[in-house]
Amino acid sequence: MVTKGLYVAFEAKPGLEGAVADFLKAGLSIVNKERDTTAWFALEMGPAKFGIFDVFEKEDGRDFHLNGDLAKLLFSRADELFSSPPVVQKLDVIASKLP
């Protein structure tokens, strides 16, 4: 059962919306290698608003993901792609339905 989550919100710089979407699509191949990331979603919530939502069974999995390759890449490209730094929120999952 998943008990931990993350929500990361960010806004693309003007004209870089496509680059942010492509970055997120490419990030799936990185996340697929993480055995403790139970579910991962790249989100587009408006013309320039994007986010990531993911869930984990344990705190260890979330910590590994937060220090993993995609997080490092996301923050290394933040100045290039985003209007402001990504906002990371740790969440506790109180109920879920997964396949």
| pLDDT tens sequence across 51-73 | 999 999 999 999 999 999 999 99
* pLDDT confidence of residue 8: 98
Q: What is the mean pLDDT of residues 37-51?
A: 97
Task: Note the pLDDT of residue 53.
Answer: 98
Q: Which residues of 36-46 are buried (b: 16+ CB within 10 A; e: fewer)?
A: ebbebebeeee
pLDDT of residue 76: 97
Q: What is the pLDDT of residue 88?
A: 98
Is the whole-model pTM more than 0.75? yes
The CATH number of domain 4-91, selected from 3.30.70.100, 3.60.20.10, 2.120.10.80, 3.40.50.450: 3.30.70.100
Residue 45 has a pLDDT of: 97
